[in-house]
Amino acid sequence: MDKYNKVIKELIQFRNERDWEQFHDSKNLALAISIEASELNELFLWKKGDEVENVNPDKLKEELADVLAYAFLLAEKHNLDIFDIVSEKIKNNALKYPVEKAKGTAKKYNEL
């Protein structure tokens, strides 16, 4: 079993042992991702320069794991393979942001 499927299995087992699937509809999983992403952002709030890159690594791992866990559960709920959807997104973004126009700029595709 690969690492991804192992983690999904562990997440589902953890959830099911606590009878939390009843709370994990798509809306609540999406909201949980947003809330956990806000907690991740809080680690960087008001930091400047080197402080931004030197956040507490344990806190970073904890908050990032929360975001990913809920994202994995939402993808699993809708039978989406995270590797496939990310790969597809990269291909779509390559069309929106061709290297010759996008290299070195943070402009949005419609501003290039």
pLDDT digits (tens, 9 = 90+) for 85-98: 999 999 999 999 99
Segment 35-64 shows an average pLDDT of 97
Segment 55-83 shows an average pLDDT of 97
Assess contact for 47 and 55: CB atoms under 8 A: yes
Distance of alpha carbon 70 from alpha carbon 31, whole angstroms: 9
Segment 40-65 shows an average pLDDT of 96
Could you tell me the CA-to-CA distances from 89 to 82, 83, 97 in Å, in that order?
10, 10, 12
Residue 112 has pLDDT above 90, yes or no: no
Distance of alpha carbon 80 from alpha carbon 67, whole angstroms: 17
pLDDT, position 19: 98
> pTM for this structure?
0.89
Decide: residue 63, CB within 10 A, 0-12 exposed, 13-18 middle, 19+ buried. Answer: buried
Q: Which domains does the chain have, with CATH numbers?
A: 3-80 (1.10.287.1080), 82-112 (no CATH)
Euclidean distance between the first and final Cα of the chain, in Å? 43
Q: Rounded mean pLDDT of the chain?
A: 95
pLDDT, position 65: 98
Residue 67 has pLDDT above 90, yes or no: yes
Residue 1 has pLDDT above 80, yes or no: no
Q: Which of 64, 72, 68, 77 is nearest to 26 (CA)?
A: 77
pLDDT, tens digit, for every residue of 70-83?
999 999 999 999 99
